[in-house]
Structure 1
């Protein structure tokens, strides 16, 4: 991001954006890692197997070699896809070392007009006739190298990815950075909303045919966070683009997520109830809260929560005694109130109607510092502004400029009006069909033979899994549960934070599951998850089952071993209550603006 792009941007936003590009790159790799990662050794049953890897069964496709030189791809015309001004800047061969093995890629970089920067990595000698588009996170604006898989050096799974079996592609979604220059450009808005990934996919497929002399046999999309939104957007808008889609922690409710959800969390933790206040909850008190939540509701051998919605924890149970002088091991009345607001979410002041379906769930506190609250400890005695180093505030500040471009009067975090449901019609209805990916009618994707895997960490601190559940329920209502089961699965992983991390077992191979489903018609059932040591060795394994089933320890054998678990009944059977944004699940015609995608 250049200094020019940041001119006129407030200092706190500049500070945030300086680190945001690095965070996006981490999230890009993390989303692929979470869908296809692990370490040390394992078999698909979850048992450790010494020092070798037992690979899940998958279709064996012959390796296809290029039929032309990589450099010649620089002359490919892509104006039929992106329009006038679209061009390929370079096509060069480079090697990436993965697990000690050098894999060569023909890396093609270019621009699809007006400003969708993209890169396609085409394996030189290892292509197995598969293609995967990779989603980006946050507000995108950064191009991650789809061939840079050095983070897979500790992985044990996804051999199709690690061994260079896929052509992979990435895009910045039509803009650079997250400064305000693109929030007033309707074409760049469209490219971020839906067009960028689609035209990048079309360009990648054209390059595949030119390089190998044939088309790909199977196409996939892998994304998490906004990449998860992009995944669902593809299923809804372009049902023929991909055979299989993995949507992790999807920011499908894009506008609600980046206005109500994050904004409410900020003002709930403010001494003034606005961005002008100091934080109430700090990292040390959040740690006390988290420990109490797990002690009350943890139902797995390692103390995690199988389904936080069944947790009946009362924050007041750890309140400091009246008149206490030492509050270091309890929560003050103000801290209790702040936590209660974050857990509870906003309601309409007049009707008491719920204003959002999702909220930070019990067990997610571990990852609140830096997102819902500052990372500072209250023991320092120095008040910290609620806006300082808090992701929720910074993402809302950036997203508001994008979301509210067409509204009569643009709100800010203090004037949004979180307890008045009219904000849905005033601010969010107009661009809902543009940015959101909540259309529950995926019948066209199903008819095309597409398969969809949704997954979410129960302890996600950025996007509540309750939103993903609500969307999945809306799909069932719209299409029928049996119909949804024919093409979709959803997995919720205890203790896992946003797109990975947290205290849970966050290494999971969903790529082998989606390829097995698409290519062998083998619908996934249980999926083994893993926890790794800092050295990359497996320390524990546990299965997750299609929602709403949960894993239950059988009571005998090592509880660290996933083979000692079986499927158990749901812990919670209440469907998502009605909320003010329920209209988001009514099938709608997607909004198209600017240059239409081919």
Structure 2
């Protein structure tokens, strides 16, 4: 009986295997005659199988080769769902047993010829004429019909060979081992690739027509144009037509969905007993070819939203090697068209592609060490109406390693990218990208191109640095990735960055929430107006209090703080996991009179003599004033400082060998921001801080906020669109960060919570926010790095993997995975608590709990009353 069936229920549609053609989806289901239950293996009454079948291999002359088995295993692990098909012996008498033992469906050799494969075959064989045919035929029929002169078919330049499930052993010479080929699909060894001068005329020729193995099998190949409408009607009589080749090789105008199996029939005995249905019975109204294939087992093969003979082009591309895809020609063809982002003009001629083998990536705080092969892609694009050029770089994993993932990487300081961040995608099978922002090179920083000249802002560079460059890179990079790997299934989009890279991450989540599946954001340099000026606070404190400590004095002070506060968290490990308890319990004055000593040192040509002395009351006063955070002349809080136990990096003084005294050392980050960002002067730093007071710093902070609020402040607190889009954020910050106050991250988290859930209780609002956004304060960690002063603290090296598990598998990171990367505890795995919970060790430091402590929480919250506007 015919099988023109409605779509399957949504719960059956567990896995969609896409083709390169847009809109095509594959969803085969095996059910019994009553349509009740999926069966497994020998189709016995016990057990079930996944509701989808991923076919990655085809009929083979003998048992599967080791290579083929390894490839199948890798794909099975990648896709998790579905059954990976094993090879079967080619003798028909053995096929039934093979079906039973290996769950081989009628798509056993359904590898479709993609446009990429067609182009490759034609480019490698320019003088070769290959053929298709206009109806189903057996192998002996190929011999008799290949020269019949069908110009329409012949012009397509491709061979499509039907797998004959009803055929005899005479076909086994053509059903040899299936292996990956250079066309991005699978090759038939030996393939059937006749020329007009040398038609196939014997089995001997079949065995010797290897011709680089560039033929891809397609057992269920019928005409799209002739059959799509017919398939929507009750099994009409229809003649198969040769437009099928053209239809496959061209883009469809719209989604093409088949909701039934096309009403095929397999007539045993047709064509000398070889059983392939001819044109006149292709759409026979009384039986289905797919049904007949499983008739010995009492099963029916049903397709819903199923392009009848398509196998994942993503799987085909993945079968290719790095050498196959990492070519300038292939990369050039993958460049997306101009206009993908409004005003963006892509430049395919600029692209370069270079395969890299056995590249070792050193251990990083952002990803584990490893050795990888990848394709190094560079390209440029420009903006319509502007004489500019933006440089991009992508690291593309091998097709076998690619896991349908994209990762944008961010910058640091005034740099929009960091080269060492680009390998971050490789351990996770992700393409990773970076941009130069249009600044001239990957090494050129934003501060080098802003302002243009004295008094003239470079607004193009400003907005590229603020958010535009990363948006354009991710849009181009994601489209390029999908083209490069010939994929139309979902590409997961992630972001990873710390410091300036963290701010850039929030710029994308806040402005383009629907474009991201998730982001790992570390110690973000948000609240830019306050953040950069904040680097100048220690120098103004020293100048105001007229005390310039030797650097060794402050270094010893930090050591004493760590020693005193180490065990407040319940564990003696040299790590301050609870800076809040340290702040509540430690009196900095207790360090007065403690000795310090440091050897002489030379840095950047400046020699600092040996330092010996004791910690002074003046030194403690300077340190405490810095720790209290910036307050204006009226005592109002303008900003906050780093946590107690952090290094006093911005408070370091410089030694003047001519006077033998110490003086302020103006922070380049703070000084350059004032000269470039506020004064629009092309000066690398302030020459001095004469007449600069606490009120001056407050005013500079406010000026930066007002001037750059729309582009650099990056504290928009309403993430409703991102939440609605299903995005996830892992936000972390080192608790001993010495460059960006961790209280900055806490303030933003609390601003988002207050804005999005104003009517919920505190606990309920935190719970609601944690469904998609979690903040983690990393014990002992410094700025985007482990801390040499607290080496036994954990670091979330695999946070990107944790994010992917959250997004793709729903594994919520209630605590963040941390690894001790150095020190006596190196290799120890620790859990990092999600804010507002705080870590507390018990049982002599062997068990860690995450606890709620309101007094501790209060130490993280500041009333920035120096401003009359909200500071998110």
Residue in 1 that maps onto 2:406 = 131
Which of 377, 380, 383 does residue 110 from structure 1 map onto? 380
Report the CA distance between 1:485 and its aligned residue: 1.8
Structure 2 vs 1, CA of residues 257 and 344 (structure 1 numbering), >3 Å: closer, same or farther? same
Higher relative contact order (CA 8 A, sep 6+): 1
Once the 2 structures are TM-superposed, how far is the Cα of residue 218 of structure 1 from its aligned partner?
0.7
User: How big is the shift at 1:91?
Assistant: 2.2
Alignment of 1:332-347 (within 5 A): 332-347=616-631
Is the 1:470–1:576 Cα contact (8 Å) retained in structure 2? yes
Shift, 1:335, TM fit: 1.4
Change (3 A) 1:238 1:59: farther
- Structure-2 residue corresponding to 1:418: 694
Structure 2 counterparts to residues 380-459 of structure 1, below 5 A: 382-387=660-665, 393-404=667-678, 414=689, 417-419=693-695, 421-459=698-736
**Secondary structure in 2 matching 1:349:** coil
| Superposition deviation, residue 58 in structure 1 | 10
Please show how residues 154-303 of structure 1 align to structure 2 within 5 Å.
161-163=425-427, 165-175=429-439, 176-183=444-451, 184-215=457-488, 216-259=490-533, 261-270=534-543, 280-298=548-566, 299=568, 300-303=571-574
* Structure-2 change in CA distance of 1:549 and 1:286 (3 Å): same
Instruction: Say whether the 8 Å CA contact 1:112–1:118 is kept in structure 2.
Output: no
When the two structures are aligned, how many residues end up with a matched partner?
491
For residues 582 and 288 of structure 1, do their structure 2 counterparts lie closer, same or farther at Cα, with a shift above 3 Å needed? same
Gaps of 5+ in 2: 1-76, 82-313, 361-368, 452-456, 595-610, 758-764
Change (3 A) 1:115 1:584: farther
Q: Indicate conservation of the 8 Å contact 1:139/1:178, yes or no.
A: yes
- 2: distance between equivalents of 1:526 and 1:199? 33
Question: 1:248 offset after TM fit, Å?
Answer: 0.2
Q: Which residue of 2 aligns with 1:495?
A: 780
TM-score (norm 2): 0.52
Q: Name which of 86, 91, 108 aligns with 2:352.
A: 91
Q: What pairs up with 1:300-315 in 2 under 5 angstroms? A: 300-310=571-581, 311-312=583-584, 313-315=586-588
- After superposition, the Cα gap between the structure-2 partners of 1:116 and 1:267, relative to the gap in structure 1 and judged at 3 Å, is farther
Q: Is the 8 A contact 1:270 1:280 kept in 2?
A: yes
Distance 1:294 1:212 in 2: 51
Q: 1:286/1:580 Cα in 2 relative to 1: closer, same or farther (>3 Å)?
A: same
Is 1:349 the equivalent of 2:610? Answer: no
Higher gyration radius (CA): 2
The residue matched to 2:467 in structure 1 has which SS? Answer: helix
Give the Å deviation of 1:319. Answer: 2.2
Q: Distance in 1 between matches of 2:417 and 2:771?
A: 36
* 1:566 partnered with 2:839: no
Checking the alignment, whether the CA contact within 8 Å between 1:500 and 1:507 is kept in structure 2 is: no
In structure 1, how many angstroms separate the alpha carbons of the residues matched to 2:673 and 2:750? 27
2: CA distance, partners of 1:164 / 1:103: 13
1:319 equivalenced with 2:582 (yes/no): no
Aligned to 2:192: none
Residues 409, 417 of structure 2: 8 Å contact kept? no
Structure 2 matches for 1:472-483, cutoff 5 A?
472-480=749-757, 481=765, 482-483=767-768
Task: Render the CA deviation track for 1:173-227: whole Å, top value 9, x for unaligned.
Answer: 3322355433221100000011011000011012112211225521100000001
* Contact 2:507–2:714 (8 Å) recurs in 1: yes
Q: Secondary structure at the match of 1:207?
A: helix
* 8 Å Cα contact 1:58/1:520 also seen in 2: no
Counterpart Cα distance in 2 of 1:59 and 1:382: 68
Residue 288 of structure 1: how far off its partner (Å): 1.7
Cα deviations by residue, 1:127-150 (Å, 9 ceiling, x for unpaired)? 11011101111111556266556x
CA contact (8 A) 1:173 1:192 kept: yes
Within 2, Cα distance between the matches of 1:306 and 1:380? 43
Distance in structure 1 (CA, Å) of the matches to 2:849 and 2:397: 40
Question: Closer, same or farther in 2 for the Cα pair 1:133/1:287, shift >3 Å?
Answer: same
Cα deviation, residue 355, structure 1: 0.5
Cα 1:138–1:97, aligned 2, differ >3 Å: closer, same or farther?
A: same
| Aligned CA distance change for structure 1 residues 405 and 333 (closer, same or farther; 3 Å) | same
Take 2:487 and 2:554, find their aligned partners in 1: how far apart are those partners? Answer: 55
Q: Secondary structure at the match of 1:508?
A: coil
- Taking a change above 3 Å as real, the CA distance of residues 102 and 222 of structure 1, as seen in their structure-2 partners, is closer
* Whole-Å separation in 2 of the counterparts to 1:341 and 1:77: 55
8 Å contact 1:231–1:245 — kept in the other structure? yes
In 2, are the aligned partners of 1:347 and 1:353 still within 8 Å (CA)? Answer: yes
Report the alpha carbon displacement of residue 348 of structure 1 after superposing the two structures with TM.
Answer: 1.9
Q: Does 1:505 align with 2:794?
A: yes
Structure 1 pair 429/339, CA: closer, same or farther in 2 (3 Å)? same
> Within 2, Cα distance between the matches of 1:375 and 1:507?
35
Q: Deviation of residue 253 (structure 1)?
A: 1.3
Distance 1:172 1:268, change over 3 A: farther
RMSD: 3.5
Q: Which moved more, 1:69-78 or 1:102-111?
A: 69-78
Note the residue ranges of structure 1 that are not aligned, 5 or more in a row.
1-56, 150-160, 274-278, 322-326, 588-598
Cα distance between partner residues in 2 of 1:505 and 1:568? 18
Residue in 1 that maps onto 2:770? 485
TM-score using structure 1 length? 0.74
Q: Which moved more, 1:204-213 or 1:186-195?
A: 204-213
User: Does structure 1 retain, via aligned residues, the 8 Å contact 2:864–2:871?
Assistant: no
Moved over 6 A (4+): 378-381, 581-584
Partner of 1:70: 327
